[in-house]
Structure 1
Amino acid sequence: MNEASSPQNDLPLVRRLEAVGFRAWPAASVVYDGSWQVRLTGGHPSKRLNCIVPLDPSDHRDMATRLEKARKRFEDYGRPLVVRETPLAPPKLIDHLNAAGWRAFETVDVLTVNLTELELPDTLDHLPSHDIGRFCDASLAIDGEDAALKPALAEILSSIKPTSGFFIKENPQEGAAAVALCVQDNDLAGIISFAVAKAHRREGLGTEILSSALRWARISGARSAWLQVVSTNEPALALYRRFGFRKAYEYRYWRQESRA
């Protein structure tokens, strides 16, 4: 595939997936500086909820001043300043970050699949729950995160406007084994917070719960599904490839390593 036809340059698709991504994982505070979206969430450390996301490749005026203004806002929230670089980010901004001592520290792949052509089980092994508290407990336990994050996570989940289904696989003796959140936004369905407990990996639970979430989304009217995965997570990428997911684009997180 040549550069001109690369999905990374399909900016209308990137814009659409970014928009549904914002709605699927809403930040507590969203303000705009020009076309830069400034996302902050005081109670939760998720990078997606605490970053600057430039949304226009041509919007690179007064970069240093705007970054410093944002830094002060992030400091008010007790957060380090992070920039999320998608294909919509101005190339001149990325050049500026490089020159100013910033470094990219994580790359995330955004994957999509056509649900209308996907082979899925005829029945749902798991019905979606609407119990936010139960999903929070399961998700935090599987990820090994502090239970004190439950109120913040519950607030995020309660703020999701599109139709959502919480999929939870639990073992009566051992507790939560796998979780997935499916957010259906018109004809697009997003898979968020998908995780399988370490003790239950390679048992087919990921396939089981992802199949249920995608089938529910298709029954509910979604025609395509999307998800985001760290580019170095090869086991997850292998699972998604088996389902037919393919890379639409990637984004990177940047931070300034030293201000000395």
Structure 2
Amino acid sequence: MATTGADTSLMHAQSTINKLPLVRRLEAVGFRAWPASSVQYDGSWQVRLTAGHPSKRLNSVVPLDPSDHRDLEIRLAKAQRKFEAYGRLMVVRETPLASPQLIDLLRDRGWTRFEETIVMIADLVDLELPDMLDHLPSHDVGRYVDASLMVDGVDPAMKPALAEVVSSIKPPSGLFVIENDDAGPVATTLCVQDNDLAGVMSVAVSPQHRRKGLGAEILTSALRWARMRSAKTAWLQVGATNEPALALYTRFGFREAYRYCYWRPPEDV
């Protein structure tokens, strides 16, 4: 029997509904793994703001219920005032939990969709990993932050902001750094273990030391550490166009769970 367009739409809608519990859980652990300094709610919208750090994950409106679409224009204007008070450009983060009516409104108002990100998960129970850790995690936030800024090529003036975010993570965290005798820090990652879930955050390798296996090396240590602490599933976020990172994560058994993106208003708004 042929499949009609209506059938395809129904199957897509059913697939989206079926994965919403997973999306909700991963969003919740993601908030705890990268905590904003100010979190306010408007209905099911989470308004996340952080004065010291510019990360969009820390400064965005995140709708958390597809059925919540009341008073959209009023609530957008209210959120806009909060962002203006922080000196931030307002952005809306679209996940499968955002209402279609909100996205239609943003599109009709001329907002721009940008920066698509893939949230991936992997089973840690049966993943083949070495019995021993090549690199032990540190709990020295200052050392990790210095290394992370250096590897990412970020202005050292961002140290207080990044240190504040990392220090405010409440679940157990492993701070991993690979150092070279000559070059200093060459790779970093942060792994946050939240019950049976482990979030692998910001895997980074300095540009001049890429394609040497350092990404796989530090990711292996982070995942092994998480499994030793009884985590059963790992998750991470990666840019949809970051082909080298996607290839690395696929080798470790990561698969797509869902995607999100951001919306920003027209410049003249």
Task: Find the partner of 1:12 among 12, 15, 21.
Answer: 21
Does residue 39 of structure 2 align to residue 30 of structure 1? yes
* Counterpart in the other structure of 2:97: 88
1:9/1:87 contact within 8 Å kept? no
Counterparts of 1:21 and 1:147, CA distance in 2: 25
- Given the two structures, how large is their TM-score scaled by the length of structure 1? 0.97
Counterparts of 1:6 and 1:168, CA distance in 2: 39
Q: How does 1:67-146 map to 2 (within 5 A)?
A: 67-146=76-155
Shift of 1:62: 1.1
* Counterpart in the other structure of 1:203: 212
2:193/2:199 contact within 8 Å kept? yes
Give SS of 1:202's match: coil
* Counterpart in the other structure of 2:234: 225
* Counterpart in the other structure of 1:159: 168
Shift of 1:6: 3.8
Shift of 1:4: 5.3
Q: Which residue identity is paired with 2:199? A: G
Give SS of 2:148's match: helix
Does residue 183 of structure 2 align to residue 181 of structure 1? no
Counterparts of 1:242 and 1:135, CA distance in 2: 26
- Given the two structures, how large is their TM-score scaled by the length of structure 2? 0.94
Counterparts of 2:123 and 2:13, CA distance in 1: 23
2:91/2:263 contact within 8 Å kept? yes
Task: Assess, with a 3 A threshold, how the Cα gap between structure 1 residues 56 and 4 changes in structure 2: closer, same or farther.
Answer: closer
1:8/1:249 contact within 8 Å kept? no
Structure with larger Rg? 2
1:54/1:84 contact within 8 Å kept? yes
2:119/2:257 contact within 8 Å kept? yes
Counterparts of 1:7 and 1:166, CA distance in 2: 34
- How many residue pairs match? The answer is 260
Shift of 1:8: 7.6
Shift of 1:5: 6.1
Shift of 1:3: 2.4
Counterparts of 1:64 and 1:148, CA distance in 2: 37
Shift of 1:9: 4.6
2:16/2:96 contact within 8 Å kept? no
* Ranges of 4+ aligned residues in structure 1 off by more than 2 Å: 1-9, 257-260
* Structure 2 segments unaligned to the other structure (5+ residues): 1-7
Shift of 1:99: 0.2
* Counterpart in the other structure of 1:245: 254
Q: Which residue identity is paired with 1:144? A: G
Q: Which residue identity is paired with 1:128? A: P
Shift of 1:141: 1.0
CA RMSD of aligned residues (A): 1.4
2:46/2:64 contact within 8 Å kept? yes
